[in-house]
Amino acid sequence: MTGTNRQFRLAARPVGPFDDSDFELVRTPVPVPGDGEFLVKVTHLSIDPAMRGWMNAGHVRPVDVGAVMRAITIGKVVHSRHSGFAEGDFVHGTFGVQEFALSDGAGVYKVHSEEGRSLAAYLGVLGMTGMTAYFGLLDVGRLAMGDVVLVSGAAGAVGSVAGQIARIKGAHVIGIAGGPEKAGMLVDRLGFSAAIDYKRDDFLDQLRDRTTRYVDVFFDNVGGDILDQGLTRLAHGGRVVISGAISQYDNSNAVVGPSNYLTLLYRSASMAGVAVPAFADRYPEAMAQMSDWLAAGQLTSIEDTVHGGIGTFPAMLRRLFTGKNTGKLVLELEPQA
């Protein structure tokens, strides 16, 4: 193929909220695959809170300044010299924020759009989002039937899946979300037992009222004050799963940790993070189970798919941090004009 490949590269490491100038839109020739390689035309970009961490020098695997911004993606094979991937195959991989990418197949797997299921689902409930919710709740959180489960960021990509898995497994699920629409969706559409609107002035009263039975598993995606207040509602032997801390990623100062951590001592509770790559050998198990739940109508995939060109990427990432999305935020790339 001939033509131009547009890609966003990291131009600078932001301090506090990122700015558009922290990225550089670069035009390069479309790469040509060699033996054992294939060319992917990126069709869907996963917009994730983790991207903000990848921009930081202190992250375990930061994006290098000058490198293509990391992104988990879906794409279509358009030129192949690899025996395992044919032209026309749709594939999942970390191809980055760009329109075309070369691959040798490492870390890449094929995906299939089935009736009633979008390709974007493979970036959400059947992707890293779903894996984080599944293993975080069941393995790290050691969920048991009848548990009381509190989920923060419950209308987001991971939280909406974690809460539904808890409900499927027979838990009493309480979700924390921002605004009456999101709180209503948790109960009316996703089957949560109750919801808490953190934007209301009576947030603490809501939290106390809905957790009169103390919390066995607190699945936290937010950090900050919501994590701090949630700790006070733990049951004896409670488990806190740290899935994310979106309230802290843009902090220009030090990350704010919980001042109520002594509750872990008083309640014989525990707190652990979910590092989902540690479960990579069990991804097929989780995907099969989630697929079955989707097919049976027990699990709903909440996707916020926005159609736009590659140039809209910074605005889409900002949308994530302003709380404007519901569920999994995906940028579906439109053809270059």
Verify that 78 and 172 share a domain, yes or no.
no
Domain coverage including residue 327: 4-123+302-333
What are the tokens at 53?
Answer: 């961490």
Burial grade of 112 (CB within 10 A; 0-12, 13-18, 19 or more): exposed
Verify that 175 and 245 share a domain, yes or no.
yes
Does some domain include residue 294?
no
Tell me what the pLDDT averaged over the chain comes to. 94
Verify that 115 and 140 share a domain, yes or no.
no
State residue 58's pLDDT score.
76
Does some domain include residue 288?
no
Does some domain include residue 176?
yes
Verify that 72 and 37 share a domain, yes or no.
yes
Verify that 154 and 248 share a domain, yes or no.
yes
CA angle, 250 then 276 then 51, to 5°: 25
Q: Which residue has the tokens 């919710």?
A: 133
Q: Is the predicted pLDDT of residue 5 greater than 60, yes or no?
A: yes
Half-sphere exposure of residue 118: CA atoms within 13 angstroms, side-chain side: 16
Does some domain include residue 291?
no
CB 241 within 8 A of CB 220: yes
Does some domain include residue 54?
yes
Verify that 236 and 316 share a domain, yes or no.
no
Q: What is the DSSP string of 105-166?
A: STT-EEE---TT--GGGGTTTTSHHHHHHHHIIIIIS---TT-EEEESSTTBHHHHHHHHHH
Please state the domain count of the chain. 2
Q: How far apart are CA 277 and CA 120, in angstroms?
A: 20
State residue 88's pLDDT score.
95
CATH number at residue 11: 3.90.180.10
Q: Residue range 133-145: average pLDDT? A: 98
Verify that 211 and 261 share a domain, yes or no.
yes
Verify that 12 and 117 share a domain, yes or no.
yes
Distances (CA, A) of 283 to 144, 212, 267, 279: 21, 36, 33, 7
Verify that 153 and 266 share a domain, yes or no.
yes
Verify that 103 and 140 share a domain, yes or no.
no
State residue 1's pLDDT score.
62
Q: Residue range 74-91: average pLDDT? A: 96
Q: What is the DSSP string of 287-315?
A: HHHHHHHHHTTSS---EEEEEE-GGGHHH
Q: Residue range 295-321: average pLDDT? A: 94
CA-based nearest residue to 45, from 322, 311, 323: 311
What are the tokens at 317?
Answer: 């990432």
Does some domain include residue 284?
no
Verify that 19 and 55 share a domain, yes or no.
yes
Task: Kindly state the percentage of the chain with pLDDT values over 90.
Answer: 86
CATH number at residue 230: 3.40.50.720
Verify that 54 and 112 share a domain, yes or no.
yes
**Among candidate residues 262, 277, 292, the one where a domain is terminated:** 277
Q: How far apart are CA 328 and CA 300, in angstroms?
A: 12
State residue 195's pLDDT score.
98
